[in-house]
Amino acid sequence: MTPRLYAVTAILMAILLVAACGDSENNPQGSGTNPTASSLTASVSSNTATLTWTQCPDDDFASYVLYRSETSGIAANPSGATLVATITDLGTLTHADGGLGWSTQYYYALQTVDSSQLTAWSNEATITTPDSSGGGGGSALSCYQIQGQADASPYENEDVTVTGIVTAAAEEFYTSVTDAQIVTIEDLSGGEWSGLVLFGYDGIMNDLERGDSVVVSGYVQEYYGLTEVVVSSVDFYEAGHTIPDPEQISTVDIASEMWEGVFTAVSNVTVATDPNTYGEFMVDDGSGEGMVKLHSFGTSIGDTYSQIIGVVFYSYDEYKLNARDENDFTD
């Protein structure tokens, strides 16, 4: 081969090699180069994590793949993590991961994939979900906070998320409103102002039972003097929690705003009036009369009970200790 032919051949081979490696327009990083990794951040509200990340600048982007694990080191062992989402839209830079466990630390990592199936990992971000059992966490408020230690809630007409323990289920409270349910919840700590009435429609709270730890969302209203949350969604519930012990109060204290929605007990009482058509009657422990209510409950003047438990409710301008069933009466 002559020197001139050898030189021409070398030039042609170099051109072909550049073409084989890909042009900068289609793959600005060049063939065999991993994509640009995103930077990942995580935040938590209630039991939902919100993940955000920076956009991949590469023209050969294919997807973002988001992983979650309860242990660190996702990039080293992605098969041991949970695949949360695969996102093929380059401009989608956030994802909400809901339904997480309570009081749990989670780790997240984002894998960027290009059209050649080459990958790059983000940093690992972590969050810890709050405790659901009374007292709130994240954006969830407590019953005490909703009540505001006043006749009217400081959150009146606002959208809220609230957490607590169910003390009375839907079938245990009477309401004349069609397709509506009443449920009561309480902070685990108990005490004054620790209870709250939930009001919902169309069976939204039918699955809730005594002892469930719940997180619900809705708006606060003062319904003829009763502070309540009108529930738009039940975000979480978990059975098997302990209901706070009933707060021991006197019969005269039944008519006190601070006990509204709270699981309470009165002791050593005597029935002072016969029940009316709504199952309402007065009892007295010597401190003064207070109203008790249970539909279709048979009692009469002079009957005595060593204890009556229930939830203090307010309707038709009267506070009343609303018993949940006949088992709330102890002779």
* C-beta atoms surrounding 304 within 10 Å: 11
**Residue 129, φ and ψ in degrees, nearest 5:** -75, 155
Q: What are the residues whose beta carbons fall under 8 Å from the beta carbon of 60, sequence distance 6 or more? A: 26, 27, 29, 35, 114, 115, 116
C-alpha span between 82 and 154 (Å, rounded): 41
Q: What is the mean pLDDT of residues 113-117?
A: 94
Q: How confident is the model at residue 32 (pLDDT cuts 50, 70, 90)?
A: confident
Strand partners, 164: 214
What is the number of alpha carbons within 13 Å of residue 68 lying toward its C-beta?
20
C-alpha span between 70 and 75 (Å, rounded): 13
Residue 182 Cα to chain centre, angstroms: 19
Same fold, 132-244 and 245-331: yes
Q: What is the mean pLDDT of residues 156-160?
A: 93
Secondary structure (3-state) at 256? coil
| The pLDDT of residue 29 | 43
C-alpha span between 262 and 192 (Å, rounded): 8
* 7 pLDDT more than 50: no
C-alpha span between 297 and 119 (Å, rounded): 69
| The pLDDT of residue 177 | 80
Residues 230-254: tens digit of each pLDDT? 999 998 888 888 898 999 999 999 9
C-alpha span between 19 and 229 (Å, rounded): 67
The answer to whether 190 touches 259, Cβ cutoff 8 Å, is no
Comparing CA positions, the residue from 323, 262, 246, 263 lying closest to residue 291 is 323
Domain 132-244 -> CATH class: mainly beta
Residues 300-314: tens digit of each pLDDT? 999 999 999 999 999
Q: How confident is the model at residue 133 (pLDDT cuts 50, 70, 90)?
A: very low
The answer to whether 263 touches 166, Cβ cutoff 8 Å, is no
| The pLDDT of residue 131 | 64
* 183 pLDDT more than 50: yes
Domain ranges of the chain: 33-128, 132-244, 245-331
Helix runs in the chain, H state only:
3-20, 143-147
Secondary structure (3-state) at 82? strand
Domain 245-331 -> CATH class: mainly beta
Instruction: Give the DSSP H or E segment for 321.
Output: strand 318-322
Confirm whether pTM is higher than 0.85. Answer: no
Q: What are the residues whose beta carbons fall under 8 Å from the beta carbon of 228, sequence distance 6 or more? A: 196, 197, 198, 199, 220, 221, 222
Q: Write out the E strands in 76-186.
A: 82-87, 94-97, 105-114, 119-121, 125-128, 140-141, 159-168, 180-186
Domain 33-128 -> CATH class: mainly beta
* Least confident window among 34-48, 91-105, 122-136, 218-232: 122-136
* C-beta atoms surrounding 96 within 10 Å: 11
| The pLDDT of residue 1 | 53
To the nearest whole number, what is the mean pLDDT of the chain?
Answer: 87
C-alpha span between 152 and 183 (Å, rounded): 19
What is the number of alpha carbons within 13 Å of residue 101 lying toward its C-beta?
7
Q: How confident is the model at residue 175 (pLDDT cuts 50, 70, 90)?
A: confident
Most confident region among 137-146, 239-248, 261-270 by mean pLDDT: 261-270
